[in-house]
Amino acid sequence: MYDGEGTNLSRRWLLAGIALVGLTGAASMAAEQPPAASASADSMVVTLLGTGDTIPSPTRYGMSTLVQAGGLNLVFDAGRGCAVRLNQVGIRSIKVDAVFITHFHSDHLNGLADLWTNGYLGPPSSRRTTPLEVWGATGIARITASMRDTYIDDIQIRLADEKIPEAGTQILAHEFSADGVVFERNGVRVTAFAVNHGPLIKPAYGYRVDFAGRSVLLSGDTRFDENLIAHGAGVDLLTHEVAIAPKPLLDSPWVKAIINHHTTPEEAGVVFSRTKPKLAAYTHLVFLASERIPPATLDDLVAETRQTYGGALEIGEDLMSFEIGEEVVVRRGAEAKAV
Quick check: is 51 in a domain? Answer: yes
28 or 153, which is more confident? 153
224 or 42, which is more confident? 224
Quick check: is 31 in a domain? Answer: no
Quick check: is 33 in a domain? Answer: no
In this model, does residue 288 exceed pLDDT 50? yes
Cβ neighbours of residue 292 closer than 8 Å, sequence gap 6 or more: none
In this model, does residue 22 exceed pLDDT 90? no
Write out the chain in H/E/C secondary structure. Answer: CEECCCCCHHHHHHHCCCCCHHHCCCCCCHHHCCCCCCCCCCCEEEEEEECCCCCCCCCCCCCEEEEEECCEEEEECCCCCHHHHHHHCCCCHHHCCEEECCECCHHHCCCHHHHHHHHHCCCHHHCCCCCEEEEEECCHHHHHHHHHHHCHHHHHHHHHHCCCCHHHHCEEEEEECCCEEEEEECCEEEEEEECCCCCCCCCEEEEEEEECCEEEEECCCCCCCHHHHHHHCCCCEEEEEEEECCHHHCCCHHHHHHHCCCCCHHHHHHHHHHHCCCEEEEEEEEECCCCCCCCCCHHHHHHHHCCCCCCCEEECCCCCEEEECCCEEEECHHHCCCC
Least confident piece of the model among 3-12, 110-119, 129-138, 311-320: 3-12
Quick check: is 294 in a domain? Answer: yes
- pLDDT bin (cut points 50, 70, 90) of residue 122 is confident
Quick check: is 30 in a domain? Answer: no
Quick check: is 112 in a domain? Answer: yes
Quick check: is 324 in a domain? Answer: yes
Range 40-68 average pLDDT = 95
- pLDDT bin (cut points 50, 70, 90) of residue 332 is confident
In this model, does residue 11 exceed pLDDT 80? no
Range 35-47 average pLDDT = 70
Overall domain count for the chain: 1
pLDDT > 90: percent of the chain: 84
In this model, does residue 309 exceed pLDDT 80? yes
Residue-averaged pLDDT of the chain: 89
What is the tens place of the pLDDT at every residue in 219-252?
999 999 999 999 999 999 999 999 999 999 999 9
- pLDDT bin (cut points 50, 70, 90) of residue 43 is confident
Least confident piece of the model among 14-18, 57-61, 304-308: 14-18
Quick check: is 117 in a domain? Answer: yes
In this model, does residue 106 exceed pLDDT 80? yes
In the prediction, which pLDDT does 3 show?
A: 53
In this model, does residue 290 exceed pLDDT 80? yes
Say if CB 323 and CB 45 are below 8 A apart: yes
Least confident piece of the model among 3-12, 112-121, 153-162: 3-12
The range of the structural domain enclosing residue 124 comes to: 2-23+40-335
- pLDDT bin (cut points 50, 70, 90) of residue 336 is low
- pLDDT bin (cut points 50, 70, 90) of residue 41 is confident
pTM of the model: 0.89
In the prediction, which pLDDT does 145 show?
A: 98
| Nearest alpha-carbon partner for 49 in 71, 78, 69 | 78
Write out 52-113 in H/E/C secondary structure. Answer: CCCCCCCCCCCCEEEEEECCEEEEECCCCCHHHHHHHCCCCHHHCCEEECCECCHHHCCCHH
Q: What CATH number has the domain bearing residue 65?
A: 3.60.15.10
